[in-house]
Amino acid sequence: MLRRYAVVLCVFALCLAAEVGARRPLLPQKSGVSKSSFGSVPDAGDVDMFTLTNANGVEIRAITYGAIITSIRVPDRSGRFADVVLGFDNLEGYLKGHPYFGTVVGRYGNRIGGGHFTLNGQAFKLAQNNGPNHLHGGVKGFDKYVWKAEPLQNGLGVAFSRTSPDGEEGYPGNLAAHVTYTLTDKNELVVDYHATTDKATPVNLTQHSYFNLSGDPSTTILGHELRIDADRYTPVDATLIPTGELVPVQGTPFDFRKPTTIGARIEQPHEQLKFGRGYDHNWVLNRKGSQPAFAARVLEPKTGRTVEVATTEPGVQFYTGNFLDGTIKGKGGQVYNQRAGLCLETQHFPDSPNKPNFPSTVLQPGKEYTTRTVFTFGVAR
C-alpha cells in the first residue's frame, strides 16, 4: 500500500513539475538588457542581439540587422509564455529574403505609386520593387542594413541608428535615422522614431512585425478579434496604390469600429478584398492631438492574449499575411502559410508624396521627424 502511495505521489510530482515548467511565473523577475552575438553579414560586419526582459518576465529580442524584432514572449491567461511574432531562429533566415518579418522599413514604409515622386519641382525615380510600384524603401531599404545600437542608459531599451546617404535608393538628402525600443513594466513596447535631413525628403518609418497571439503560427489569425478606431479608410487600385479617396467604412468589410473576428468578412466578394487577396489597406485613424492615442486592439480568444496599439501617426496599415504561401520555414522549421500572421503598421498614408490631399510626409532641413507607437500586451480574463 505504501509503495502504491509512493508511486502516486511521484506521478503527481512529475505532472506538477511539467505544469510549472510550461509556465513562467508572473512574479517579479530580474529585468535588464543583455547583448549577444547573432552572426555576421558579409561585407557589413557583426550582428548583435539585444534581449529586453521586464519585471513580469516579458521578453523582447531585437537584432542590429534591420533593427528586426525577432521575438516577443508574453503570457496567456494561464500564465503560459509564448512567442507571438513570426521570424527565424538564425540570421541566415533573415538574409535569404523574407516579407519584412519584424523589420523597421524605410526610408518610406508602404508603397509609392509608379516608383516616382516630384518634390520642389524636381522629379525623383525610385526602384519599382513591387510590380510597377516602390515598396518599403526599395531593393535595399532600411531592413537590409546593419544598424548601430546601444542599450539605453536610463531605461529598459535599446537605441538603433543609421545614416541613409543622399541618393540611397533614389531618395534625396542625408537622413540620420534613430529608432528606440523600450520595454516597460506595464508590458508596453514603446517604439520611438526620430530623423533629421539636410535636404527635403519623404520619410515614413514603421515597424513590420507579424503577430499571431495564439503563439502557434500553424493556426491562422482569422479567429483573432480586431477593433480599429477609424471611420474611414483609403481604397486602392489593382496595384494597391490609394486612389486618393477617404471612404467611410460603414457598411463595408472594413468596418472594425466594434470588435470583429478577422475572418468574418475577409472572403466577401468585395473588389477591395480581391485587390489585396484580403486586408492590405490603410485605415484613417480618428485620433486627435499630438500624443499617442488608441488606434487598434487585437484579442486572441483561446489564449486571452491581447495587444493594444496607440500611436501619434494618422494611419495604420492592417495586413493579414495574404502573400504568405507556405514557402517560408520559420522558427523551429514551422511553415508559414497564408494568414499565419497579421501586421498593424502605424504610418502616414501610402503614396502620400503623390497625393497632395494626404498628410505630408516631407521632412525639411532644420526640422525633426518624431513619431511614437506603443504596443501594450495584456490578457483578457
Contact by Cβ (8 Å): 51, 33: yes
pTM as predicted: 0.92
A 10 A CB-CB count for 268 gives 11
CA distance 93 to 39: 11
Q: Where are the domains of the chain?
A: 36-379
- Cα 284 from Cα 378, distance rounded (Å): 25
Rounded CA gap, 236 and 208, in Å? Answer: 20
The CB density around residue 362, as the number of other CB atoms within 10 Å, is 16
Q: Are strands 260-261 and 369-379 parallel, antiparallel or unpaired?
A: unpaired
Element (H, E) at 16: helix 2-22
Mean pLDDT per 10-residue section of the chain, whose length is 381 residues: 42 42 55 96 95 98 98 98 98 96 98 98 98 98 98 93 98 98 98 98 98 98 98 98 98 98 97 96 94 97 98 98 97 97 98 98 98 98 83
List, by residue number, the catalytic residues: 208, 345
What CATH number matches the domain at 36-379, 2.30.110.10, 2.70.98.10, 3.30.200.20, 2.170.120.40? 2.70.98.10
φ, ψ of residue 150 to 5 degrees: the values are -145, 140
Mode of pairing for the β-strands spanning 260-261 and 305-311? unpaired
One-letter amino acid of 366: G
Which residues are CB-neighbours of 158 under 8 A, at least 6 positions away? 33, 50, 52, 62, 149, 150, 151, 152, 180, 181
Q: How far apart are CA 381 and CA 376, in angstroms?
A: 16
pLDDT at 14: 41
